[in-house]
Amino acid sequence: MTVVGVVTQPDKPVGRKQALTPSPVKALALEHGIPVIQPVALKRPAAIAALARFTPDVGIVAAYGRILPPDVLAIPRHGHLNVHASLLPRWRGAWPIGAAILAGDAETGVSIMLLDEGMDTGAVLSKRAVSIQPDDTTESLERTLAGLGAGLLVDTLPGHLSASIPPLAQDEPLATYCRPVRKADGVIDWTQPAEQIERQVRAMHPWPGAFTTWQGKQLRLLKARAVGEDKNEGTKPSHVLAYDKGAAVTTGAGLLVIDELQLEGKSPVPARTFVNGYRDFAGSRLV
């Protein structure tokens, strides 16, 4: 099987100097001498014509971030297969990995589906599940699912091209959706239970991060864990307590123990180091 061409997003400015930087997909394709196109909009006739010149038998889509228009969907004779990072029909949309962690799902996985004009609504060819580990973040689970999805795609393609794998329609009543994550989603609401905030910390890593405010500066929680005990029952949420040489915060239910955090303008540090450096942290309140 031969890769005849790659379609990826236009180069984007990166870093303080805002230097135009190609996507990793483009860099790898060029390294192997594979033609690359980067259309600003797939609906434009020039973009459709450029895609058609590849004359592909099948298209493979992974994390492209755009819904393909009908004229593009019609180009490959075997359609487009999408590698989607969830067990469809659960978590259709742009942020399935973080959504699964935030919801407290016990498992997630990858689905290979036929693209249609809807938002992840096409028939599914194959699925592969994986358990979500207690310390999984969006970043770590993304790595796991990337490998899982690549393997499943390789296993599924031959059966799809030979028509030996029947596409199965998704069960619409079971469908759930997730929207793209926003910066505001990282703001911690301390009236929520500690378990929910712990999931937020993991789901929002690496971006936008789960954060609160301390002494007028943003404070990011990088690692945290919920504990059921709350010896300060009756204390309002968001109060910082000394805990095992580190710190914990009262919440709507239970304590959130902080293991690693980062104050605005500073480097990430273990909670014990932070408490030693900021003696007034324990006993303060986060907002």
| pLDDT tens figures, 147-169 | 999 999 999 999 999 999 999 99
Considering the entire predicted model, what is its pTM? 0.94
Confidence at residue 236, expressed as pLDDT on a 0 to 100 scale: 92
Confidence at residue 196, expressed as pLDDT on a 0 to 100 scale: 98
Confidence at residue 233, expressed as pLDDT on a 0 to 100 scale: 60
Reading the block at residue 274, the tokens are: 């932070």
Q: Give all domains of the chain, ordered by start, each with its CATH number.
A: 57-178 (3.40.50.170), 183-277 (3.10.25.10)
Amino acid at the residue 222: L
Q: Measure the CA–CA gap between 222 and 172, rounded to whole angstroms.
A: 36
Confidence at residue 66, expressed as pLDDT on a 0 to 100 scale: 85
On whether the CB atoms of residues 267 and 239 are closer than 8 A, the answer is no
Confidence at residue 230, expressed as pLDDT on a 0 to 100 scale: 60
Confidence at residue 204, expressed as pLDDT on a 0 to 100 scale: 98
User: How do the residues of the chain divide into helix, strand and coil, expressed in percent and rounded to 5?
Assistant: 25, 30, 45
Q: Would you say how long the chain is, in residues?
A: 287
Q: Pick out the chain residues at pLDDT < 50.
A: none
| pLDDT tens figures, 203-225 | 999 999 999 999 999 999 999 99
